Structure 1
Amino acid sequence: MTGELKVRTVLGDIDPAELGVTDSHDHLFFASKLLPGQELDDPIAAAHALLEFKVRGGAALVQWTPYGLTRRTRELAWMSEEIGVHVVAATGLHRVEHYAPVILGRVVDGLVKEFVADLTEGTQPADLPDEPRTGPRAGLVKVAGAFHTIDSHARLTMTAAAVAHQETGAPIAVHLELGTAGLETVELLCGKLEVPPEKVILGHLNRNPDPQLQRQLAETGVFLGFDGPSRANHATDWRLFDGLEALVEAGHGGQLLLGGDTTTAAARDQPGASFLLTTLAPRLARQLGGDVVTAMLVANPARAFATSWR
């Protein structure tokens, strides 16, 4: 791939060096039938969260909410402009369990057209209930694996994501269910579907704190996302530090990304996106060194989310 590298934000393409301190995986808006009563769908609350993140030193936030789950791209653009924080939006599809039947039943060619249109024109399918047909362009494709496997839905969406990457250059971000099926995901995306590893970001590695697996994944060249702490997965929080330290010592510090992954209203302020900067980063800096943590928050996301757009 040749050409000038850019990060595609909801306000347009920027130089990767402009991204700054980045929350590499979070949600300002997210609503799923799996989380009734916990919807993130209040623009004012989202704006307050983004402003607090900025006050704490944040400069960019990557929202991994794919279409059909209330990603609110127009509101993302408004908040980005008013608050002064870069925001990257996602296209793609989450796990099958998150959706009503109207969203499902698509085939690869149809998904590719939808993903590419979203990435290049800011349009999405007419049968989606969560937002208008047009809006800001997405800057990545979000897909998801199943628990310990790649099910038929995941294979469908990952195949479409790979083709969309070939047509546009877009990075691919993958939700690993409870941190599992990482090797299977890399084998499919980077092996069979020939997506360059540096264009793949695996999320939720902290939810499956298996050091051998994390090392194997790092050796493939993909980016590794450690996002949380999560109220749903707090039992693994204390293992995050040793896991990151082991990967840094093994020479993989340049592949590590940090995120907050706020997916429920209850977690918006407890701990919320700002926890990444107020608590997690300082603790990591004391253990790993400030330069290493700065790379996870600045240099690594600048490479992970940048591409030569086509």
Structure 2
Amino acid sequence: MRVRTVLGDVDPAELGVCDAHDHLFLRTPRLPGQELDDPARAAAHLRTFADLGGRTIAHWTPYGLGRRERDLADLSAATGVHIIAATGLHQAVHYDPGVLARIRPGLAALFHRELTDGPAGMIKVAGGFHRLDEHARHTMTAAAEASGATGAPIGVHLEDGTAALDVLDLLCGSLGVPPDRVILSHLDRSPDPWIHRRAAEAGAYLCFEGPSRAHHATDWHLFDSLAALTEAGHTDRVLMGGDTTTPDAPGIPHLLRVLRPRVEAQLGRDAATAIFETNPARAFAIQR
């Protein structure tokens, strides 16, 4: 097995401490005036992350949203931090309709090409609020095809943490994606322990992020959710990321400066090692 980074394939054991969901660059009409588009700022965050012991970041910015592939390679080389880039598509609302019409017929081929010839080591797709619309189903179908051909993991944006089981029914049920190829994100935004357990029992990875103004009211539930999964024996399914989406967010270093010490204090060192090191090495490995 291997993990595909922007500088080439590495052994999963080399990932070290991982931020499993973040953004160095992001540009979307949904966040006007709040673009992440500054390489110097990204480099500063990566250096601080590395100083705190971080070794790898999964960069979930997909196709067409300003991921700046060439800058990612330069940043990784300059800072020594591994970067896993994403192909895939976000919700339709993040794109010009003309762009979607142009790429829609060959979506699976686009994902496959970026996973084999381009910079990507994962696929990012997105559901809607408590439902999967036609765009989500089409995009996930293309993602399943590309993942099946390459062994790459599929990261799923869950809108406000909802529709997790619908995603698993589609990807793992109808489309035959192995559950351990699926990473469900934003589950902290819908802290439903029954849903979390069902998703973990199915074999998917559960990624928790924070903090963010968009879901600040549920931040205090984060460690309740982590503790519940740990007590249920599902620590091996948990990942954590910072999910920096705007310039005024706490930034990538917050994950290791604030959240990891609290994980270790409340759940123990073994749980922290699993969540930040052991689990990401499995979740992001290309199983081919």
What corresponds to 2:141 in structure 1?
159
Which deviates more from structure 2 when the two are superposed, residues 278-287 or residues 12-21? 278-287
Structure with the higher fraction of residues in helix conformation: 2
1:275 to 242, 254, 257: 254
**1:116 matched to 2:112:** yes
1:284 to 263, 267, 281: 263
> Does the CA-based 8 Å contact 1:90-1:141 persist in structure 2?
yes
Q: How much has 1:101 moved relative to structure 2? A: 1.5
1:18 to 10, 14, 17: 14
Structure 2 distance, partners of 1:109, 1:249, is 45
Structure 2 distance, partners of 1:48, 1:254, is 31
> Does the CA-based 8 Å contact 1:111-1:160 persist in structure 2?
yes
> Does the CA-based 8 Å contact 1:109-1:160 persist in structure 2?
no
Structure 2 distance, partners of 1:192, 1:296, is 29
Residue type of the alignment partner of 1:69:
L
2:210 to 224, 228, 232: 228
Structure 1 distance, partners of 2:287, 2:262, is 35
Structure 2 distance, partners of 1:107, 1:35, is 23
Show CA shifts across 1:53-110 (max 9, x none): 1111110000000011000111011000111000000000001111112221257650
Structure 2 distance, partners of 1:256, 1:169, is 20
Unaligned runs of 5+ in 2: none
Q: How does 1:101-250 map to 2 (within 5 A)?
A: 101-105=97-101, 110-122=106-118, 137-250=119-232
Structure 2 distance, partners of 1:43, 1:108, is 30
What corresponds to 1:300 in structure 2?
279
TM normalised by structure 1 equals: 0.91
Q: How does 1:58-77 map to 2 (within 5 A)?
A: 58-77=54-73
Structure 2 distance, partners of 1:194, 1:108, is 21
What corresponds to 2:28 in structure 1?
32
Unaligned runs of 5+ in 1: 123-136
> Does the CA-based 8 Å contact 2:150-2:286 persist in structure 1?
no
Structure 1 distance, partners of 2:127, 2:221, is 23
Structure 1 distance, partners of 2:279, 2:120, is 20
1:88 to 81, 84, 87: 84
Show CA shifts across 1:91-136 (max 9, x none): 00001111112221257650011001111111xxxxxxxxxxxxxx
Structure 1 distance, partners of 2:103, 2:19, is 32
Residue type of the alignment partner of 2:60:
W
Residue type of the alignment partner of 2:90:
H
Q: Percent of aligned positions with the same letter in both sequences?
A: 59
Structure 2 distance, partners of 1:290, 1:84, is 25
Runs of 4+ in structure 1 off by over 4 angstroms are 106-109
Structure 2 distance, partners of 1:255, 1:304, is 9
What corresponds to 2:237 in structure 1?
255
Q: How much has 1:230 moved relative to structure 2? A: 1.3
Q: How much has 1:285 moved relative to structure 2? A: 1.1
What corresponds to 1:126 in structure 2?
none
> Does the CA-based 8 Å contact 1:144-1:176 persist in structure 2?
yes
Structure 2 distance, partners of 1:60, 1:21, is 6
Structure 2 distance, partners of 1:242, 1:283, is 12
Structure 2 distance, partners of 1:181, 1:207, is 12
Query: Tell me, what secondary structure is at the counterpart of 1:143?
Result: strand
